C-alpha cells in the first residue's frame, strides 16, 4: 500500500455554504477524517480491529489552510499520509485538490494536519501505540511539493 493514500470524493450540493455557494469549511474537515479512516482501513486497521484491540485514535487538534474554494460537482482527491509517529501521538498531513482534466492541472484547494492521540477505549487514557499499529504505516516526513503547515504551539 502506498505511503500517500488518495481518497476520492465528488462534492455534493448539501456540502455548500448557503450564502456563498462554495463548500463549507466543515466539509473539508469531514473529508480529512474520512480519508484518515479509509487510509487506516486500507492498511488493515478497520474500526472493528481497533475495537478488538480496545484502543484507537482520537483527535487532539486539526489545522486547515484554505487556498481555493470548491464547488458542487467538483471531483476532489484528499491525499493523506502519516508525517510522524511518537509514543502516543501521530501527525497526519493532508492536501485537498480539485482533479483536473488532461488539459487542466489539479488545483490545490487546501492543506491540513491532524494531531492524533492513541487512547485506551475503556479508560480514555493515553496508551502507547502498539508495534503492530505503528508498523502498518510508512512515515512520510517531507512529501515533495507540499508546503508544511506549521504546528500550533502546545497549550500551557
CATH number where 124 lies: 3.10.129.10
The answer to whether residue 140 is domain-embedded is: no
The pLDDT tens digits of the residues spanning 72-92 come to 999 999 999 999 999 999 999
Structural domains in the chain (count): 1
Q: Which residues, other chains included, contact 67 with Cβ-Cβ below 8 Å and sequence gap of 6+? A: 108, 109, 110, 111
The answer to whether residue 93 is domain-embedded is: yes
Domain that holds residue 70: 5-134
pLDDT for position 148: 53
pLDDT for position 151: 52
pLDDT for position 25: 94
pLDDT for position 137: 96
SS3 55: strand
DSSP secondary structure code for residue 102 in this structure: S
- Is pLDDT above 70 for 101? no
Query: What is the pLDDT averaged over residues 49-66?
Result: 97
pLDDT for position 131: 98
Buried (b) or exposed (e) across 17-27, using 16+ Cβ within 10 A? eeeeebbbeeb
The answer to whether residue 11 is domain-embedded is: yes
pLDDT for position 146: 54
User: Model-level pTM?
Assistant: 0.88
- Is pLDDT above 80 for 153? no
For the chain, percent of residues with pLDDT exceeding 70: 87
The answer to whether residue 42 is domain-embedded is: yes
The pLDDT tens digits of the residues spanning 128-152 come to 999 999 999 999 976 555 545 555 5
Query: What is the pLDDT averaged over residues 25-29?
Result: 96
Is the distance from CB of 75 to CB of 95 less than 8 angstroms? no
The answer to whether residue 144 is domain-embedded is: no
Mean pLDDT of the chain: 90
Q: How confident is the model at residue 105 (pLDDT cuts 50, 70, 90)?
A: confident
The answer to whether residue 152 is domain-embedded is: no
Amino acid at each position: 500500500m502506498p505511503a500517500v493514500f488518495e481518497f476520492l470524493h465528488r462534492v455534493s450540493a448539501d456540502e455548500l455554504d448557503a450564502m456563498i455557494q462554495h463548500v463549507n469549511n466543515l466539509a473539508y474537515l469531514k473529508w480529512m477524517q474520512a480519508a484518515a479512516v479509509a487510509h487506516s482501513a486500507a492498511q488493515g486497521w478497520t474500526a472493528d480491529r481497533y475495537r478488538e484491540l480496545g484502543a484507537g485514535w482520537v483527535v487532539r487538534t486539526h489545522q486547515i489552510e484554505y487556498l481555493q474554494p470548491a464547488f458542487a460537482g467538483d471531483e476532489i482527491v484528499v491525499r493523506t499520509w502519516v508525517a510522524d509517529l511518537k509514543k502516543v501521538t501521530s501527525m497526519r498531513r493532508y492536501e485537498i485538490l480539485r482533479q483536473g482534466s488532461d488539459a487542466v492541472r489539479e488545483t490545490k484547494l487546501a492543506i491540513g494536519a491532524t494531531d492524533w492521540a492513541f487512547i485506551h477505549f475503556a479508560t480514555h487514557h493515553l496508551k502507547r501505540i502498539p508495534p503492530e499499529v505503528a508498523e502498518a504505516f510508512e512515515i512520510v516526513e517531507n512529501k515533495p511539493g507540499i508546503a508544511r503547515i506549521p504546528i500550533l504551539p502546545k497549550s500551557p
